[in-house]
C-alpha cells in the first residue's frame, strides 16, 4: 500500500511542479507586456514633444523639472540598486524561510514582517513560497504578514522614499503600516478559519482543497 501512496504523492508533486511552471510562464508574459519600457519611454517622449509644440511657453518648466528629477534620481538610484544586489547575494532565501516558522503569536507575526522586508526577490516568487509555508503548517497570520511586508516594505526602496518624501514621512508610514498589519492579519486569519470550520469535512482533505 505504501508504494502506491508514494507513487500518488510523487504524481501530485509533479502536477504541482507543472502547475507552477505554467504560472511562471504566464507571469513572464504579463511581465513582458507590462514592462514594455520602450513603448512607455517612446510614448512619453512623443507626448512631451507634441505638448512642447502646442504650449511653447511651458516648455521651460518641463525641461527644468525633468532635469531636477534626473539629478535627484541619479544621486541615489545607483546606491539603492547596489544595496539590493548586496541583499540578494548575502541573504539566502532558504534562511528566510527557515526563520519564518519560529516564534509564536505576535512575535511570529513580527518575525514574518521583518523577514518580508529583506529584498530577496519579486512578489511573484513570494506567492509559491507562501503557499508552501501554509502547506507545511505555518499560521495564516504569519504568512500573510510576511507576504504583505514583502509587497510593501523593502529596505533599499525605503532609501528612495526617504530621499523623495522625507525621513519623517517614511518613518511614520512604516510604523503605521507595521502596527496596523498585526490586527489585519489576525482578523484575516479568524475570517479564513471560520469559513474553514463551516466547510470542514476531513481535516487534511479540506486543507488541500483550500490551498491548492
Binding test (CB under 8 A) with other proteins, winner from 88, 93, 97, 121: 88
78 binds other proteins (CB under 8 A): yes
Q: Which three cell numbers stand for residue 36?
A: 514594455
DSSP label at residue 58: G
Listed ranges 5-13, 92-100, 102-110, 176-184: which one lies at the site for other proteins (CB under 8 A):
176-184
Listed ranges 1-9, 95-103, 104-112, 185-193: which one lies at the site for other proteins (CB under 8 A):
185-193
99 binds other proteins (CB under 8 A): no
Binding test (CB under 8 A) with other proteins, winner from 17, 45, 106, 205: 45
Angle subtended by helix axes 37-54 and 59-90, to nearest 10: 160
Three-state SS for 94?
A: helix
148 binds other proteins (CB under 8 A): yes
- In the chain, the largest separation of any two C-alpha atoms, in whole Å, equals 82
Residues 105-124 that bind other proteins (CB under 8 A): 123-124
**Alpha helix stretches (DSSP H) within 35-139:** 37-54, 59-90, 93-100, 105-117, 123-135
Binding test (CB under 8 A) with other proteins, winner from 7, 12, 15, 81: 81
Pair 117, 148: CB distance under 8 Å = no
Nearer to other proteins, 7 or 68 (CB): 68
Q: Output the CA torsion sign for 15, 17, 20, 21.
A: negative
Element (H, E) at 120: none
55 binds other proteins (CB under 8 A): yes
15 binds other proteins (CB under 8 A): no
Q: How far is the CB of 103 from other proteins (least distance, A)?
A: 21
210 binds other proteins (CB under 8 A): yes
Amino acid at each position: 500500500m505504501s508504494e502506491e501512496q508514494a507513487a500518488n504523492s510523487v504524481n501530485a508533486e509533479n502536477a504541482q511542479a507543472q502547475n507552477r511552471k505554467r504560472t511562471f510562464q504566464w507571469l513572464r508574459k504579463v511581465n513582458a507586456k507590462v514592462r514594455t519600457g520602450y513603448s512607455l519611454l517612446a510614448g512619453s517622449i512623443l507626448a512631451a514633444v507634441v505638448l512642447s509644440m502646442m504650449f511653447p511657453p511651458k516648455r521651460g518648466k518641463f525641461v527644468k523639472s525633468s532635469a531636477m528629477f534626473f539629478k535627484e534620481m541619479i544621486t541615489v538610484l545607483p546606491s539603492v540598486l547596489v544595496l539590493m544586489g548586496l541583499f540578494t547575494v548575502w541573504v539566502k532565501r532558504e534562511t528566510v524561510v527557515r526563520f519564518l516558522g519560529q516564534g509564536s503569536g505576535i512575535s511570529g507575526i513580527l518575525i514574518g514582517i521583518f523577514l518580508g522586508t529583506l529584498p530577496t526577490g519579486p512578489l511573484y516568487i513570494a506567492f509559491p513560497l507562501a503557499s508552501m509555508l501554509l502547506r507545511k503548517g505555518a499560521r495564516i497570520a504569519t504568512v500573510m504578514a510576511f507576504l504583505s511586508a514583502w509587497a510593501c516594505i523593502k529596505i533599499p526602496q525605503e532609501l528612495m522614499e526617504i530621499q523623495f518624501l522625507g525621513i519623517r514621512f517614511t518613518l511614520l508610514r512604516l510604523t503605521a503600516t507595521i502596527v496596523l498589519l498585526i490586527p489585519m492579519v489576525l482578523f484575516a486569519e479568524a475570517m479564513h478559519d471560520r469559513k474553514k470550520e463551516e466547510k470542514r469535512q476531513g481535516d487534511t482533505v479540506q486543507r488541500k482543497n483550500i490551498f491548492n
